[in-house]
Amino acid sequence: MSSTGGSRRHSNMTTPGNSKRNSNIVNIEGEEEDHDYQIHSHQTPDPLLSENPLPGLKRHDSLDMESAKIQGHHGHHGTKDWGVILRLAFQSIGVVYGDIGTSPLYVFSSTFTNGIKHEDDILGVLSLIFYTITLIPVIKYVMIVLHANDNGDGGTFALYSKLCRNAKVGLLPNAQAEDREVSNFELELPGNANTISSRVKKSLENSEFAKYCLLFGAMLGTSMVIGDGILTPSISVLSAVSGLKEATDSMTEGRIVVVSVIILIILFMVQRYGTDRVGYSFAPIICVWFALISGIGVFNFFKFDPSVAKALNPKYIVDYFKRNNKDAWISLGGVVLAITGTEAMFADLGHFTVKSIQISMGCVVYPALITAYSGQASWLRKHQDDVADTFYKSAPDALYWPVFVVAVMAAIIASQAMISGTFSIIKQSLSLGCFPRVSVIHTSDKYEGQVFIPEMNYLLMVGCVLVTVTFKTTENIGHAYGIAVIFAETLTSSFMVVIMLVIWKTNALLVLLFVLVISSTEYIYLSSVLYKFGEGGYLPFSFAVVLMFIMCTWNFVYRAKYNFELDNKVSREVIKDIVTDTSISHMGGLAIFYSELAHGIPPIFKHYIENVPALHSVLVFVSIKSLPVSRVAPEERFLFRRVKPNDLYVFRCVVRYGYTDVRNEKESFEKILIERLKEFVESDYGVLEERQQGRVSDEDVVKLDQAWRSGVVHLVGEHEIVSRAGSSIGKKFLIDYAYNFMKKNLRQSYSVFEIPHKRMLKVGMTYEL
């Protein structure tokens, strides 16, 4: 990595254009409080670098960018190997499509809750199903939304993070110039702007209200997905188990509920073992499921009434609404269940590629669903009175048990995918300071996105059991389910409009077309499902209100605490005075102070010295920072800076993570930190060797080794957050009661890095916000 004796260190760096260059590490002198830094570099000129190697150039950086640029770690997202793409397409069938694949279990029965009044109503509903599946999952998601991925990751927070990087709409003032050097940090291309894009971007950046709306929308979308994680297992398992009624008359509604509850409890109990070992064995089962429903669909289509192909004509939709008026509009709440799980295509994108999702949807899922619904419609034309049990009664008797077994397995897989997706989105929101700290357990060494959150697993299980026992039938749960599904999709559409205008700079007419065709369709469906608000539709909103209160409270205090530390950070003069104060005892060893403040040294350090007037020989202030990117490469994770003069042996370090990064590395965080600190010291002297004659980095490396061997103390702030005197009643309630209740009952920050308790020292301080 580096040579001894202060020799210059060269590293291969990859530019955004994938060109290679040899470059030295740039050292930045000065303190953050001055906001201007002198750059000293013996660097090969490179037109791609914004830095000028001449002394005297001012730059608004906050830390020394010592890590080399590398290509982003996107895994298989950039692959062009068709073998890999096809394998991923096959695997995605089992992970992504379980939810939408099990929709044929209950769509027709949920749509015709009062029976079929006219035989052509079947054609009208089939036409609605066909065009809804074509418009939302295929055109909106497969053709448009998937391309808005955040370096291969999808979901509401991925869209929000993408916006935060391309426009200054984030509410936390922790942005640094070096953040844009991260490989995954996409920069806006110059000369590509248009008037409307510039105006929209400027309006968003200048409006606090718009920034809060974007954050609120991201939180609301997350809340709805979590609500979906409660409703999906309930309706999927209940609808699959209800098929037992066809096998025996002794299976009453109560017994079906009991069997469903038992399956749900077992499902949640095995979550702690992760899906790594069985996750990709789901694909063959779901493939068998799609083969069964499409095969039965083709059989019924030709046997009963092939004329249902007329439903391709949208005229039958118009006729359906003319005949049924308000009832047709209300029935849209059942039709929308045909696109449940569509959001999972985008949310679960992290494990696959855009092409693999497009192939699996276009070649397997879409044809299977269309033939399944067409076959059911054909069967219903001859059996209108049996619409309540359409799925199982339309299956040939000889196939009943195979269909039932595979249906239950498919329902469990659909539930598993949604539960895993819920865990993943909670981890994303947790990394961005929008969710209370909970225990995140990574269940797979191979697939980093597979996580288990014990607290949420327990709450989801309780929620699923209560929903199943309370509502008892898929019809009642369907009212709630439809709202959760369509609400999350409308929020995604809203984010997409902003992304099209601000990032993609799409022609305004095309954006208007998207709004008129896709967004308006979703709002029509939303208006329909809201009509059943009192019949179960209130359930997802109840979940959302509780989750939004938790997320908003946590984020409000999180930002207030950060701003308090920023306003009260310790200046460089105070640091020098403290370190050189002869009345303060000095001891061997290394002290690591942890905080989330990216700019400066937190006030808790001064508080610590005032109460414990003793300092270790080496001080490292570590700031934990989450970037609005999915991943930060390990080579780019650590940023170091040395507080001048060098004899103080005081360092600052920013440790950067993306919202999908694993924080509990196999290797000790302490060990990684010390090794990177040594590399920084060596490179620091390496690039300044001509200005540091006679002084080599070996002395400092030896000093660091001695301090490390003498012992490491981890100092963690144990903040007591209270409302400031004179605060409003609402603010006092949020801070003094709601926030502190969550803080006391959830995971502490020091557990993120598994700090040894024997070497951890908590420093208490009261923050008045």
Whole-number Å distance between alpha carbons of 326 and 486 = 20
Which pLDDT does position 280 carry in this prediction?
57
Which pLDDT does position 12 carry in this prediction?
40
Which pLDDT does position 45 carry in this prediction?
35
SS (H, E, C) 72-109: CCCCCCCCCCHHHHHHHHHHHHHHHCHHHHCHHHCHHH
Which pLDDT does position 96 carry in this prediction?
84
Residue in the structure block whose two tokens are 């002794």: 250
618, 630, 631: which is closest to 673 by C-alpha?
618
Enter the tokens of residue 50.
């914004």
Q: At what angle do helices 82-96 and 400-431 cross, to 10 degrees?
A: 100
Lowest-pLDDT range of 235-239, 287-291, 694-698: 694-698
Which pLDDT does position 744 carry in this prediction?
78
pLDDT in tens, 356-402: 999 999 999 999 999 999 999 999 999 998 898 899 999 998 898 99
Neighbours of 309 (CB within 10 A): 14
pLDDT in tens, 92-108: 888 788 889 989 998 99
Enter the tokens of residue 330.
């209300």
Whole-number Å distance between alpha carbons of 433 and 653 = 20
Which pLDDT does position 193 carry in this prediction?
55
pLDDT in tens, 35-67: 333 333 333 333 323 333 333 333 323 333 332
Residue 138 pLDDT > 60: yes
What is the three-class DSSP state of 353? coil
pLDDT in tens, 708-765: 888 888 888 888 888 888 888 988 898 888 888 888 776 655 555 567 778 888 888 8
163, 158, 180: which is closest to 502 by C-alpha?
163
Mean pLDDT for 327-337 is 92
Whole-number Å distance between alpha carbons of 38 and 58 = 6
Residue 446 pLDDT > 80: no
Query: Nearest 10 degrees: CA dihedral of 41, 47, 52, 54?
Result: 70
pLDDT in tens, 190-214: 445 567 888 888 898 899 899 999 9
Q: Is-contact 30 38, C-beta < 8 A?
A: yes
Whole-number Å distance between alpha carbons of 318 and 314 = 7
What are 153's strand-pairing partners? 150
Residue 137 pLDDT > 60: yes
Neighbours of 511 (CB within 10 A): 17
Residue at 89: amino acid letter: A
Residue 185 banded pLDDT, cuts 50, 70, 90: low
Lowest-pLDDT range of 426-430, 494-498, 518-522, 687-691: 687-691
Which pLDDT does position 476 carry in this prediction?
78
Helix-, strand-, coil-residue percentages of the chain, each rounded to 5: 60, 10, 30
Q: How far apart are the first and last CA of the chain?
A: 45
Query: Nearest 10 degrees: CA dihedral of 291, 294, 300, 306?
Result: -140
Whole-number Å distance between alpha carbons of 547 and 554 = 11
Residue in the structure block whose two tokens are 């004329």: 307
Which pLDDT does position 586 carry in this prediction?
83
Whole-number Å distance between alpha carbons of 174 and 596 = 9
Residue in the structure block whose two tokens are 């207030």: 560
Residue 417 pLDDT > 70: yes
Which pLDDT does position 35 carry in this prediction?
37
Residue 23 pLDDT > 50: no
Decide which of 295 and 252 is more confident.
Answer: 295
Average pLDDT over the chain reads 79
Residues 6+ apart with CB under 8 A from 670: 592, 712, 714
CB neighbour class for 702 (10 Å; exposed up to 12, middle 13-18, buried from 19): exposed
Whole-number Å distance between alpha carbons of 162 and 501 = 13
DSSP state of 453: -
Q: Is-contact 768 724, C-beta < 8 A?
A: yes
Q: What percent of the chain has pLDDT over 70?
A: 80
Whether pTM exceeds 0.75: yes
Residue 316 pLDDT > 90: yes
Residue 5 pLDDT > 50: no
Which pLDDT does position 685 carry in this prediction?
57
pLDDT in tens, 602-637: 888 888 888 888 888 899 999 888 887 778 888 888
CA angle, 184 then 188 then 189, to 5°: 115
Residue 173 pLDDT > 80: no
Residue 315 banded pLDDT, cuts 50, 70, 90: very high
Q: What is the DSSP string of 301-343?
A: HHHT-GGGGGGGSTHHHHHHHHHHTHHHHHHHHHHGGGGTTHH
Q: At what angle do helices 400-431 and 282-303 cross, to 10 degrees?
A: 130
Cis peptide bond N-terminal to 645, omega within 30: yes
In 419-525, DSSP assigns E strands to 441-442, 451-452
pLDDT in tens, 265-306: 988 888 777 654 545 567 889 999 999 999 999 999 999 999
What is the three-class DSSP state of 623? strand
Q: Which helix (H) or strand (E) holds 13?
A: strand 11-14
Whole-number Å distance between alpha carbons of 132 and 521 = 9
Query: Nearest 10 degrees: CA dihedral of 715, 721, 725, 731?
Result: 150
Whole-number Å distance between alpha carbons of 525 and 336 = 7
Residues 6+ apart with CB under 8 A from 235: 106, 474, 477, 478, 481
Q: Is-contact 206 389, C-beta < 8 A?
A: no
Which pLDDT does position 663 carry in this prediction?
64
Whole-number Å distance between alpha carbons of 262 and 282 = 21
390, 411, 354, 376: which is closest to 130 by C-alpha?
376
Q: Is-contact 29 64, C-beta < 8 A?
A: no
Which pLDDT does position 521 carry in this prediction?
95
Mean pLDDT for 570-582 is 83
Residue 251 pLDDT > 50: yes
Q: Is-contact 98 282, C-beta < 8 A?
A: yes
Residue at 764: amino acid letter: G
Residue 685 to residues 15, 209, 487, 698, Cα–Cα distance (Å): 24, 47, 56, 10
Which pLDDT does position 192 carry in this prediction?
53
Report the DSSP pairing between strands 585-595 and 451-452.
Answer: unpaired
676, 702, 532: which is closest to 617 by C-alpha?
702
pLDDT in tens, 447-471: 555 677 888 888 889 989 999 998 8
Which pLDDT does position 184 carry in this prediction?
64
Whole-number Å distance between alpha carbons of 279 and 417 = 9
